[in-house]
Amino acid sequence: MVGIVWWSGHTVKRGRSAGPDPGDWSTLSDWNRSQTEHQGAHGRSGRAGGREGGLGTMARNALRRQPTLDEVAVRAGVSRSVASRALNNAPHVSPAKREAVERAVRQLGYVPNPTARALATRQTGAAALVVSGEDPSIFADPFFAQVIVGASAALEEADLHLMLCLAASDRGRKRVAELMRSKGADGVMLMALREDDPLARVAEEAEMPVVFGGRPVGPAPRWYVDVDNLGGAREATEHLVSRGRTRVATLCGRLDTGAGRARYRGYRDAMLAAGLDPLPPREGDFTEPSGAAAMAALLADHPEVDGVFAANDNMAAGALRALREAGRQVPADVAVVGFDDLAVAGITDPPLTTVHQPIAALGREMARMLVALVDGQDPTPLILPTRLVTRASA
């Protein structure tokens, strides 16, 4: 059996049958104690700290520690270099040794330590998805869940892990900034950035691969994936017009977001193209209550309205509720079109005609673009198509 230096000067016998050695235990215990005392800036103490007086659990954990590549190499009768090459199936390894390494890996149950690998390669093997916004609950929108599903699948293909950062609080934003500056991830996907979000600048300064999800307001970033908000909104409005609606209004989303603005522009363009007067936008914040409020206000000011394009399904659902409460029939009196085609759209009464956007694809393409970027390629921005889904509301 090989002797492995555990800490400076102390030796732990290894091998499956090696019995516990009191001397080593006390060493470990000392080490753990000092770990605990030296608790770092982040306020957590050492991992293996003194639960239930310690010896039993701690010693067991410590002795059964992960095998290292060195041990695999020894067992396979090769050098660490060869073992490493075999593991990463790199060239310059004879079939025999490759086989020996594989066997040793299996016997020892070896799993490479990703942290060590990350330190050596300067790649963390993780990509971060940052969702920015004041209110953490905006994230509760099922929209993000779908983005995540898509991104997760694409990252899985590239064998990257997904770190999720909800940059709502100041503290959260600071952590994201630090993550980027410290290169704690190989790349970042940035979503829902407001105008002048400082995180955009931090990302740039950190010179780290960044893909934007949704073109932010302002100058276009170099890499982004977006949905054809303009075209979708135009199509929605055209649909209302084609149904003979002439007094069509829009309940727009926050105009300091790219999507909110583009969807409003699409509405406006379509109205003008049809020779109709666009009504001034009613601004909401993409939530159901804001849609209901905007709709109520709209009805008060413009009772003659006969068609409504809402910036998303949540707001459309709110509009439907406000219309119901005002005694208007949908679509007979007022036709309503939403945007997103989330699950809600099928559940509302009446079911919502809405602009379908490929949300999971958005996530997937963001992730793929990021992977390409991390790989050193230079992908081009991408706009994903939308399509109108006709249901009962318009």
Partner DNA sequence: GATGATCTTGGGAGCGCTCCCACTGGAAGC
Partner DNA sequence: GCTTCCAGTGGGAGCGCTCCCAAGATCATC
The item of DNA, a second copy, none sharing an interface with residue 9, based on CB under 5 to 8 Å by kind, is DNA
Residue 7 touching DNA (CB under 7 A) = yes
Structure tokens at 202: 């931090």
Q: How far apart are CA 260 and CA 255, in angstroms?
A: 5
Q: Which of residues 58-77 bind DNA (CB under 7 A)?
A: 65-66, 68-70
Cis bond before residue 350 (omega within 30° of 0): yes
Answer for which of 24, 48, 59, 97 binds DNA (CB under 7 A) is: 97
Pick from 93, 12, 90, 10: which is nearest to 1 by CA? 12
User: For DNA, which stretch binds (CB under 7 A), given 107-115, 223-231, 306-314, 355-363?
Assistant: 107-115
Q: Cβ closer to a second copy: 121 or 244?
A: 121
Residue length, the chain? 394
User: For a second copy, which stretch binds (CB under 8 A), given 210-218, 257-265, 293-301, 371-379?
Assistant: 371-379
Minimum distance, C-beta of residue 74 to a second copy, in the bound complex (Å): 20
Size of the site for DNA (CB under 7 A): 44
Answer for which of 33, 172, 269, 382 binds a second copy (CB under 8 A) is: 172
Element at 212 (helix H, strand E): strand 210-213
- Quick check: helix, strand or coil at residue 138? helix
Q: How far apart are CA 100 and CA 77, in angstroms?
A: 8
In the block, tokens 């055209």 appear at: 238
Residue 153 touching a second copy (CB under 8 A) = yes
Within a 13 Å sphere around the CA of 390, how many CA atoms are in the beta-carbon half?
A: 9
Site string for DNA, 17-56 (x = CB under 7 A): -------------xx--xx--x-x-----x----------
Max Cα-Cα span within the chain: 89
Site string for a second copy, 104-133 (x = CB under 8 A): -----x-xxxxxx-xx-xxxxxx-------
Site string for a second copy, 28-67 (x = CB under 8 A): --------x-x-xxxxxxxxxxxxx--------x--x-x-
Q: Residue 384 carries which side chain, given as an amino acid letter? A: L
Q: How far apart are CA 9 and CA 7, in angstroms?
A: 6
Beta carbons within 8 Å of 150's beta carbon, 6+ residues apart? 359, 360, 361, 362, 363, 364, 365, 366, 367
Answer for which of 14, 183, 194, 265 binds a second copy (CB under 8 A) is: 183
Q: Which of residues 227-266 bind DNA (CB under 7 A)?
A: none
Q: Which of residues 275-314 bind DNA (CB under 7 A)?
A: none
Q: How far apart are CA 169 and CA 192, in angstroms?
A: 15
Q: Cβ closer to DNA: 61 or 81?
A: 81
Residue numbers at the binding site for DNA (CB under 7 A): 4-9, 30-31, 34-35, 38, 40, 46, 65-66, 68-70, 78-82, 84-85, 87-88, 90-97, 110, 112-113, 116-117, 119-122
